[in-house]
Amino acid sequence: MKNFEGRVAIVTGAAQGIGRAIADRLAAEGATLAVVDINDEAAQAAAVEIGGDAFSVACDIGDPASVTALHETIVQRAGKLDVLVNAAAIVPFVPWDELTFEEWRRVMRVNLDGIYLMCRAGSDLMRKNGYGRIVNIASNSIFAGTPNMAHYVASKGGILAFTRALATELGPHQITANSVCPGLTDTEGVQQTPHKEAFEFVEMLQAIKGRGKPQDIAPAVAFLASEDAHWITGQALAVDAGMIRW
Ligand code: NAD
Ligand code: 4PL
């Protein structure tokens, strides 16, 4: 079903991993897709692979000027914004004893400041048409208290709470805001960290066995980003084979 025909969507972090799988899914369902990532080369390659009218925009979501420029480009290239999926983040592995304030700030700048900047600019654009779907990617680590990423877990908890508040602010404009909380997922990013050793451990806690892939996360995001989800806002959905329950 072409759920996103005539819809313009931004997916951040779409050069690889979970963001890429979400971009693939929305484009396959007809969205005009902006592949947004700080990794310009990989974002360009992804947009070419996705094909159709997908285009890439290089953006550092933690930089206000970069986010403003991105939204100007969206207006020029697509004329409006219907869907914003914030998947870009830093996924660190830093034991507590090694966690410095500098490292804390590095992660907060992207994972929390970046979400604010994208939602600020994105929702201002959506309001012009009185329609919008925002999906922010949090993590089930906020329920599990996953080790070696206290700053990341804090940033993701911030996303969950912020998204609840955002839903209240944007409801009057027919814009929904929800978060999705993936469990450990096999991505390029995770493969570059010791988190890749944790798959067997999380599988033990999952109701459904197996190793989470980006393609396991994308359908839940696509649903919350669809017109059908108009009566759902301020919610958080765990997509982790039943590892956590709430
Ligand atoms: P990844 O590291 O494979 O990909 C992240 C992408 O974000 C990269 O392409 C990177 O270039 C981009 N990015 C980083 N900083 C950016 C910035 N400042 N501006 C723009 N783009 C930037 O990550 P992933 O594993 O696919 O994770 C995607 C999302 O899912 C993240 O929000 C992550 O926190 C979340 N998540 C991942 C897992 C997991 O186990 N992989 C679990 C739960 C939640
Ligand atoms: C359970 O979001 O949710 C490792 C790395 N383990 O990034 C995550 C779990 C990781 C997670 C995450």
Total structural domains within the chain: 1
Q: Tell me whether strands 132-137 and 175-182 are parallel, antiparallel or unpaired.
A: parallel
What residue numbers bound the domain in which 141 lies? 8-239
Instruction: Report which secondary-structure segment, H or E, holds 237.
Output: strand 236-239
For 130-176, the pLDDT digits (tens) are 999 999 999 999 999 999 999 999 999 999 999 999 999 999 999 99
- Report the mean per-residue pLDDT for the chain: 98
Residue 153 lies in a domain: yes
Test site for ligand 2: of 94, 188, 195, most ligand atoms within 8 A of the Cβ: 195
Residue 235 lies in a domain: yes
Residue 1 lies in a domain: no
Residue 189 lies in a domain: yes
Residue 87 lies in a domain: yes
What are the tokens at 196? 């890749």
Residue 30 lies in a domain: yes
Q: Which amino acid is at 140?
A: N
Is 10's pLDDT higher than 90?
yes
Is 1's pLDDT higher than 70?
no
- % of the chain surpassing 70 pLDDT: 100
233: domain CATH number is: 3.40.50.720
pLDDT confidence band for 240 (50 / 70 / 90): very high
- Alpha carbon distance 204, 56 (integer Å): 39
- Sign of the Cα pseudo-torsion (150, 239, 198, 203, in order): positive
Q: Average pLDDT of 26-40?
A: 98
Active-site residue identified among 152, 170, 176, 214:
152
Residue 18 lies in a domain: yes
Residue 3 lies in a domain: no
Residue 18 CB–ligand 1 contact under 6 Å? yes
